[in-house]
Amino acid sequence: MQKNCIILASGNGSNALNLINRFYINKTGSSLINISAVVSNIEGAPVIDKVKKAAPDIPALFLPYASVSERERFESELEGIIKKYKADYIILAGFMKILSEEFVSKFPYKIINIHPSLLPAFKGRDAIKKAFEYGVKYTGVTVHYVTHEIDAGPIICQEIVKIDDSDTMESLEAKVHKAEHKIYPVAIETALAGAIRNIN
Ligand code: GAR
């Protein structure tokens, strides 16, 4: 049965677009995955325009959430969107806000995130920069279920990215994004097919 997914994104939207390309435009991914809507918490975030251009049939919605004081309203309206589109999964693709413990506990194993490091290393913001500045020789990408603990939910899959001596912050960012675009669709397909720890 098709699984309806809502994507949450805050910024550039390369991961959101990659998922839309795979599951909606080119349909090279699993036909079981239906992207019902994309929600951004940032007004004017590039992701909104990109989705509107690439896939005009997918609703691209702005739902404000800038400061913590807006979280309760954001989550309540998001629950309305989840009901409206009968969403089975919430896919975080560069969503840079924290969801409350109360919200997350309503959707166990239904919220999936991608993080640009090999968790548990370099949690939080600016993970690529932190890895580059620390001087690790290998970093990577982690796809995991979201729990109330930040960047600490059960891991679905990881991809290693080697940091060469010749790498700059920019070249490393490009490598990490390439790895993200490679593994996120596959990780989502695998998780939604129930092949990984899943309470379905
Ligand atoms: C991605 O690198 C993603 O892993 C990261 O934000 C970037 C969004 O890029 N997410 C986090 O850091 C979450 N903690 P995109 O907007 O081009 O997809």
CA 191-110-185 angle, 5° bins: 40
pLDDT at 54: 97
User: Is residue 5 within 8 Å of residue 90, measured between CB atoms?
Assistant: yes
User: Is residue 9 within 8 Å of residue 23, measured between CB atoms?
Assistant: no
Q: pLDDT digit string (tens) for 91-149?
A: 999 999 999 999 999 999 999 999 999 999 999 999 999 999 999 999 999 999 999 99
For ligand 1, atom 9: residue with the closest CA: 94
User: Is residue 29 within 8 Å of residue 113, measured between CB atoms?
Assistant: no
pLDDT at 129: 98
Domain interval for residue 91: 3-199
pLDDT at 194: 80
Q: pLDDT digit string (tens) for 66-90?
A: 999 999 999 999 999 999 999 999 9
70: left (phi over 0), alpha (psi -120 to 50) or beta: alpha
Regarding the beta carbon of 180 and ligand 1, being less than 6 Å apart is answered yes
Regarding the beta carbon of 117 and ligand 1, being less than 6 Å apart is answered no
Letter string b/e over residues 3-13, b meaning 16 or more CB atoms within 10 A of that residue's CB: bbbbbbbbbeb
Q: pLDDT digit string (tens) for 23-35?
A: 999 888 778 899 9
Q: Model pTM greater than 0.85?
A: yes
- The CATH number given to whatever domain includes residue 87 is 3.40.50.170
- Domains in the chain, number: 1
Q: Give 38 Cα–ligand 1 centroid separation in angstroms.
A: 15
* Ligand 1 atom with least separation from CA of 116: 4
Q: How far apart are CA 32 and CA 115, in angstroms?
A: 24
Regarding the beta carbon of 94 and ligand 1, being less than 6 Å apart is answered yes
* Averaged pLDDT of the chain: 95
Here the tokens at position 29 are 């991914």
Q: What is the DSSP string of 174-193?
A: HHHHHHHHHHHHHHHHHHHT
Q: Give 41 Cα–ligand 1 centroid separation in angstroms.
A: 14
- Sign for the CA dihedral angle at 120, 126, 132, 138 comes to positive
Among residues 48, 53, 23, 25, which one has the least CA distance to residue 38? 48
Q: How far apart are CA 36 and CA 84, in angstroms?
A: 10
Q: Is residue 115 annotated as part of the catalytic site, yes or no?
A: yes
